[in-house]
Amino acid sequence: MFRIALNFVFKILKGRPLKLDADITSKDLIYIFFSNIPSLLRGLIFYRKLISIGSKCNIYKVKFGKGVTVGNNVTMNGIGKHSIVLGDNVSIYSHCVLKVSGTYTLLGESIIIGCGVGIGDFSHIGGAGGISIGDGTIIGPYFSAHPENHIFNNLDVPIKEQGLTRRGISIGKDCWIGAKVTILDGASIGNGCIIAAGAVVRGEFPDNSIIAGVPAKVIRRRGN
């Protein structure tokens, strides 16, 4: 009975049925349901949406799609030329930081996250040069993306005073990005790519590439 009720609530929030492991007990379901009530209430009260917002979050200038889930201790700051946009059914796990601008002396562009994207705990995403993440992409914990670079050519001037370059980052749809991956400015990752844990990624990669290493390179293609 409780399983049916929980499935009904989930379908309202996410727009799709809840798929549960058959071994989850009724006691487990009761815990899951009641432990999520405070987060749902925060979404309704503060954002007037059916979204779930964890405790101790700092959120400003974010456009939410339907059914978004945000974990605990998440910072999202959309101050910039444009804001942070989260598509429907995005999941941002605990302790993530999403900031469009690294400094207010030179505003950043935007952070655009497509529908159904999941971003693991302790990830950091900057939006200085702009970043977009395509629908359905899943990202492991401790991921970071840095769409800007420091200029460092002049040995007589401190690096922090030499300015920045910003090309932006593009990540395609239906990608799987492992834990502790770092993506650098100018990277363009095609649809359906897989990036191995710990890779440091820059440059352009075609659709369905399997990418690994430091610096990252294509080790093979999916389907081959």
Please tell me whether residues 95 and 185 are part of one structural domain: yes
Please tell me whether residues 62 and 32 are part of one structural domain: no
Per residue of the chain (224 residues), what is the pLDDT tens digit?
666 666 666 776 777 777 777 788 888 888 888 888 899 899 999 998 989 999 999 999 999 999 999 999 999 999 999 999 999 999 999 999 999 998 889 999 999 999 999 999 999 999 999 999 999 999 999 999 999 999 999 999 999 999 999 999 999 999 999 999 999 999 999 999 999 999 999 999 999 999 999 999 999 999 87
**Which of 49, 66, 88 is the endpoint of a domain?**
49
Please tell me whether residues 4 and 114 are part of one structural domain: no
Complete DSSP assignment for the chain: -HHHHHHHHHHHHHSS-----TT--HHHHHHHHHHHHHHHHHHHHHH-SS-EE-TT-EEESEEE-TT-EE-TT-EEE--SSS-EEE-TT-EE-TT-EEES-S-TTS----EEE-TT-EE-TT-EEE-TT-EEE-TT-EE-TT-EEE--EE----TTS-GGGS-EE---EEE-SS-EE-TT-EEETT-EE-TT-EE-TT-EE-SEE-TTEEEETTTTEEEEETT-
Residue with tokens 């897989």: 194
CA–CA separation, 183 vs 174, rounded Å?
17
Please tell me whether residues 58 and 45 are part of one structural domain: no
Please tell me whether residues 149 and 202 are part of one structural domain: yes
Q: Which residues are within 8 A (CB) of 23 and not within 5 positions of it... i.e. 6 or more apart? A: none
- Calculate the CA dihedral of residues 160, 73, 11, 133 and round it to 10 degrees: 10
Please tell me whether residues 203 and 122 are part of one structural domain: yes
Please tell me whether residues 43 and 67 are part of one structural domain: no
Please tell me whether residues 27 and 66 are part of one structural domain: no
Please tell me whether residues 31 and 75 are part of one structural domain: no
CA–CA separation, 9 vs 193, rounded Å?
33
Please tell me whether residues 140 and 79 are part of one structural domain: yes
Please tell me whether residues 194 and 114 are part of one structural domain: yes
CATH assignment at residue 167: 2.160.10.10
Please tell me whether residues 119 and 200 are part of one structural domain: yes
Domain that holds residue 126: 51-221
| Count of domains forming the chain | 2
> What is the model's pTM?
0.91
CA–CA separation, 130 vs 16, rounded Å?
31
